[in-house]
Amino acid sequence: MSKYDVAVLGGGPGGYVAALRAARRGAKACCIEARDLGGTCLNVGCIPTKAMLHASELFWNFGRASDYGLAVGERSVDGAAYMKRVAQVVAGLRKGVEGLLKQAGVDVVRGRGRLARRGGLVVETAGGTEAIEAGAIIVATGSQPIRPNFLPWDTGHLWTTDEATTCETLPESILIMGGGIIGCEFATLYAELGVQTTVVEMLDRLAPQVDEDAARAIHRLLKKRKVKVLTGSKVVGMKAGPDGAEARLEGGETVKAARALVAVGRRPNIEDLGLEEVGVELEDGIIKVDERCRTNVPGVYAIGDCAERRQYAHLASRMGVVAADNATGHDAADDRTVVPVGVYTHPEVAAVGLSEAEAREVCDRLRVGRFSYRASGMARAYGETEGQVKILADEAMGEILGAVVIGSHATDVVQEIALAMRNELTVEELAATIHPHPTFAEGVLEAAEAWLGLPIHAV
């Protein structure tokens, strides 16, 4: 039996970060992972999709070269080379994670682990069963794509994001089932590369997770890229054959494509982990944890997608730090109310805190400050004038309740507002902060000044 101070079950962006933090705190730590280190985020999620999106944006902008006084030759996409680069990016970062764990002295146990008792785990490895005893256990098993069972998965024509990010070339056409954040990002990159793209979303608008202004902007960008968007439409059946997949929609319409990408959400990996045997409490299908990432069982913590409804890698990493600190005798807490969200469409969408609709429900004195990218010097210089910065705050106190940024570099710009919210700064204090010029971040200053009723460049 191997003994550790901290054992982490899962090697994704929450798990490996937790293991590293525990080791940095002086603990003897191990990280148990049956698949590639880095989890969904690094291997089949955040990283490969961003590599794909950056390349597709370059290709799309080549088509606008004449707008910048540039001349380019005929454009073409080498699907195999495109996907090869994506794989190289992932492999390089995965190697980096392996190196960090090794350098920190974290033992990587290759296999599938489960809780056997309080303070004990068993791991099914290639060489047999290994028993591990630990003073603290951190469950970080992540999530997996939902695969509706009425779809013909055995035909080879259906993908989840796992297959879409690891395939060897691009499809000739794609049907995306699900118009949430993931579906919209893939629709963006495929359309920019010239792949005929259709998105089917059962709700009446795309990206229901984001502010309505942001959802409308995403819809516009997809239409501009010739994506066929079908909202208020539900896939009720699908068949697949040599020519691809054909979806039947409620109402009788059919949609055909060479591949179908099913992006209807993810479910937490909480099955067969021994949670019930140990007595770990679940709530609404995820592990119940407090602000210190503690479960109801002493010495057992849980982080990331298996313990949070919001499935973001950066949130999992933060929870990993909190859990590891508490597991090593330190006191750390995070109520997880300020969590920025990024949608990497073109233009990007980013948000933190409440949407405008949510803010109006809880605040009778809501005031909105806006600044359009059309008035931004940097946005003009870049030729990226679609977008806005929107700050939502209480009229009396200046307390920031939320913000939405739509436009180039939005996911970078929103972080300033997240920092302000985290530290309870007011809109006035944002407006009093000198911002470098020219930058996209100036939009935050301008929106804050507009909120104060003292706009400089906003109208």
Whether 437 sits among the annotated catalytic residues: the reply is yes
Give 20-39 pLDDT, tens digit per residue.
Answer: 999 999 999 999 999 999 99
Averaged pLDDT for residues 252-281: 97
pLDDT for the residue 356? 95
User: Given a cut of 80, is residue 322 above it in pLDDT?
Assistant: yes
What's the pLDDT band for 405 if we cut at 50, 70, 90? very high
- Domain identity same for 248 and 374: no
Give 423-459 pLDDT, tens digit per residue.
Answer: 999 999 999 999 999 999 999 999 999 999 999 997 6
Residue 276 belongs to domain spanning: 2-144+267-327
The span from the CA of 304 to the CA of 315, in Å, is 7
Q: Within 10 Å of residue 324's Cβ, how many Cβ atoms?
A: 30
Point out the catalytic residue in the list 157, 330, 435, 437. 437
Kindly state whether residue 140 falls inside one of the protein's structural domains: yes
Kindly state whether residue 456 falls inside one of the protein's structural domains: no
The mean of the pLDDT values for the chain is 97
The span from the CA of 23 to the CA of 42, in Å, is 21
Give 48-92 pLDDT, tens digit per residue.
Answer: 999 999 999 999 999 999 999 999 999 999 999 999 999 999 999
Of 296, 327, 358, which closes a domain? 327
Angle at 46 between CA 188 and CA 307, to 5 degrees: 125
Q: Is 352 helix (H, G, I), strand (E, B) or coil?
A: strand
Give 342-396 pLDDT, tens digit per residue.
Answer: 999 999 999 999 999 999 999 999 999 999 999 999 999 999 999 999 999 999 9
- How many domains would you assign to the chain? 3
Averaged pLDDT for residues 4-16: 98
- Domain identity same for 248 and 279: no
Write down how long the chain is: 459
Closest CA to 276 of 113, 116, 134: 116
In sequence order, what are the beta bridge partners of 352?
A: 403
Of 245, 264, 283, which closes a domain? 264
Which structure tokens are listed for 291? 């602000």
- Domain identity same for 99 and 206: no
Between the alpha carbon of residue 113 and those of residues 10, 29, 43, 274, 415, the distances in Å are: 8, 15, 20, 9, 36
Contacts with 34 (C-beta within 8 Å, 6 or more apart), sequence order: 110, 111, 112, 113
Of 239, 264, 289, which closes a domain? 264
pLDDT for the residue 240? 93
Give 163-188 pLDDT, tens digit per residue.
Answer: 999 999 999 999 999 999 999 999 99
pLDDT for the residue 27? 98
The span from the CA of 159 to the CA of 178, in Å, is 12
User: Given a cut of 80, is residue 268 above it in pLDDT?
Assistant: yes
pLDDT for the residue 74? 93
- Domain identity same for 64 and 157: no
The span from the CA of 287 to the CA of 279, in Å, is 11
- Domain identity same for 247 and 235: yes
User: Given a cut of 90, is residue 326 above it in pLDDT?
Assistant: yes
- Domain identity same for 162 and 201: yes
List the CATH number of the domain containing 55: 3.50.50.60
- Domain identity same for 289 and 417: no
Kindly state whether residue 335 falls inside one of the protein's structural domains: no
Q: What is the DSSP string of 57-94?
A: HHHHHHTTGGGGT---------HHHHHHHHHHHHHHHH
DSSP E strands: which ranges in 73-194? 107-110, 112-117, 120-125, 128-139, 143-145, 158-159, 173-177
Beta strands 196-201 and 173-177, pairing class? parallel
Which structure tokens are listed for 427? 């809109």
User: Given a cut of 90, is residue 117 above it in pLDDT?
Assistant: no
- Domain identity same for 136 and 7: yes
Kindly state whether residue 203 falls inside one of the protein's structural domains: yes
- Domain identity same for 16 and 114: yes
Give 305-317 pLDDT, tens digit per residue.
Answer: 999 999 999 999 9
Kindly state whether residue 457 falls inside one of the protein's structural domains: no
Closest CA to 165 of 45, 40, 287: 45
The span from the CA of 248 to the CA of 421, in Å, is 45
- Domain identity same for 273 and 255: no
pLDDT for the residue 230? 98
Beta strands 173-177 and 259-262, pairing class? parallel
Asked if 384 contacts 373 with a C-beta cutoff of 8 angstroms, the reply is yes
What's the pLDDT band for 118 if we cut at 50, 70, 90? confident
What's the pLDDT band for 119 if we cut at 50, 70, 90? confident
Q: Tell which phi-psi region holds residue 64, choosing left (phi > 0), alpha (psi between -120 and 50) or beta.
A: alpha
pLDDT for the residue 1? 81
Kindly state whether residue 342 falls inside one of the protein's structural domains: no
Output b/e per residue, 161-181; b: 16+ Cβ within 10 A: beebbebeebbebbbbbbbbb
pLDDT for the residue 262? 98
pLDDT for the residue 121? 97
Kindly state whether residue 247 falls inside one of the protein's structural domains: yes
- Domain identity same for 15 and 127: yes
Kindly state whether residue 333 falls inside one of the protein's structural domains: no
Give 227-255 pLDDT, tens digit per residue.
Answer: 999 999 999 999 998 889 999 999 999 99
Averaged pLDDT for residues 260-278: 97
* Phi, psi (deg, nearest 5) at residue 58: -60, -45
Which structure tokens are listed for 334? 């995070």
Identity at 71, one-letter amino acid code: A
User: Given a cut of 90, is residue 219 above it in pLDDT?
Assistant: yes
- Domain identity same for 227 and 280: no
